[in-house]
Amino acid sequence: MSEKGHKRPRLSNKLLAVVSALVLGGGGVAVVAGNANAGQDGNRTGDRAAQVVATIDCPDVGDRLTAVPDQARTEVDESLAQLDVQVADAYRRLAAGEAGGDALLGELRVQREGTISRMSDAIARSAARPEELKSLSGCEMKQASAQDDAAADPAAAAAAGPADAGAARSIGGKGGPARSDFVDITRIRPNVRAPGASAGASTGSFSSQCGRNENGHFNPDNVIVAPGVSNGAHHMHDYVGNKSTDAFSTNDSLAKAGTTCGNGDLSSYYWPVLRLRDGKAEKDAKAPGGGQDANVGTILRPKQVTITFKGSPVGKVKAMPRFLRIITGDAKAFANGNANANASWSCTGFENRQLKDKYPVCPKGSDVVRTFTFQSCWDGRNTDSANHRTHVAFPDKSGRCPKGFSAIPQLVQRITYGVAPGARFAVDSFPEQLHKPVTDHDDFINVMPDRLMATAVGCINGGRTCR
Give the per-residue pLDDT at 167: 37
Please report which helix (H) or strand (E) contains residue 80, including its range: helix 73-95
Let me know whether 95 and 221 are in one domain: no
List Cβ neighbours of 85 (8 Å cut-off, separation of 6 or more).
none
Indicate the pairing of strand 425-427 with strand 274-276: antiparallel
Let me know whether 215 and 360 are in one domain: yes
Let me know whether 126 and 275 are in one domain: no
Beta pairing partners, 21: 28
Asked if residue 309 is part of any domain, the answer here is yes
Give the per-residue pLDDT at 52: 55
Give the per-residue pLDDT at 97: 85
Let me know whether 139 and 200 are in one domain: no
* Segments in 161-280 forming alpha helices (H): 162-171, 251-256
Let me know whether 104 and 200 are in one domain: no
DSSP secondary structure letter of residue 432: G
DSSP secondary structure letter of residue 259: B
Let me know whether 125 and 221 are in one domain: no
Contact 399, 81 (CB under 8 A): no
| Total number of domains in the chain | 2
Give the per-residue pLDDT at 68: 96
pTM confidence score: 0.85
Let me know whether 117 and 227 are in one domain: no
Asked if residue 167 is part of any domain, the answer here is no
The domain boundary residue, chosen from 145, 162, 190: 145
* Segments of the chain with pLDDT less than 50: 1-50, 148-173, 175
At 292, is the secondary structure helix, strand, or coil? helix
Give the per-residue pLDDT at 54: 84
Domain range for 351 is 176-466
Q: How many other CB atoms sit within 10 Å of the CB of residue 104?
A: 18
Buried b (16+ CB within 10 A) or exposed e, 79-100: bbbbbbebbbebbbbbbeeeee
DSSP 300-340: PPPSEEEEEEE-BTTB---PPPTT-EEEEE-TTHHHH-SSS
- Give me the phi and psi of 108, to 5 degrees please: -65, -40
Contact 277, 291 (CB under 8 A): no
Let me know whether 309 and 208 are in one domain: yes
Let me know whether 113 and 233 are in one domain: no
What does the alpha-carbon distance between residue 442 and residue 332 come to, in Å, rounded to a whole number?
13
Give the per-residue pLDDT at 8: 34
Give the per-residue pLDDT at 51: 52
